[in-house]
């Protein structure tokens, strides 16, 4: 499974570019594989604030609709309009063009794991 080592991960299958400050959030390749063909993504507005664990949107596939979860206390500072209009970009490039939102964490995220621990987690799943 493709789990870039320079990213952090949540057990809800989001990836994050760092643990504090301004970070980018996306959905892991593993989650996309489980979902199947992505047909729609619902993302928050810039300026919205969330608590860690809050649902900040949904991702819809031909199989199901799944919530997307905020990795920490944060304010949305940018939304990827490319994936909002072309959700297939998430599948084609989950760790590059397929990012979802950029956020400003108000404090370091607490429950992130590194790539090795995420790979172990999904093997148990």
Indicate the domain borders of the chain: 8-107
Number of neighbouring beta carbons within 10 Å of residue 3? 19
CATH class assigned to 8-107: mainly beta
Q: What is the value of pTM for the model shown?
A: 0.94
Average the pLDDT over 94-106 and give the result. 96
Q: What is the pLDDT of residues 24-37, one digit of tens each?
A: 999 999 999 999 99
Instruction: List the alpha helices (DSSP H) in the chain.
Output: 29-35, 81-85, 88-92, 115-124
CB-based contact 76:46 (threshold 8 Å) = yes
36/28 Cα distance (integer angstroms): 13
Tokens of 117: 């621990």
Q: What is the pLDDT of residues 41-89, one digit of tens each?
A: 999 999 999 999 999 999 999 989 999 999 999 999 999 999 999 999 9
Radius of gyration of the chain (CA): 13
């Amino acid at each position: 499974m493709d789990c870039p080592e320079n990213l952090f991960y949540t057990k809800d299958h989001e990836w994050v570019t760092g643990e504090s400050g301004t970070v980018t959030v996306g959905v892991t390749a593993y989650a996309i594989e489980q979902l199947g063909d992505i047909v729609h993504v619902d993302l928050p507005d810039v300026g919205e604030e969330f608590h860690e664990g809050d649902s900040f949107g949904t991702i819809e596939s031909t199989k199901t609709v799944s919530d997307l979860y905020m990795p920490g206390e944060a304010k949305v500072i940018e939304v990827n309009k490319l994936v909002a209009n072309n959700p297939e970009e998430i599948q084609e490039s989950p760790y590059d063009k397929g990012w979802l939102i950029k956020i400003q964490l108000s404090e370091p995220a607490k429950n992130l794991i590194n790539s090795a621990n995420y790979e172990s987690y999904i093997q148990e799943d």
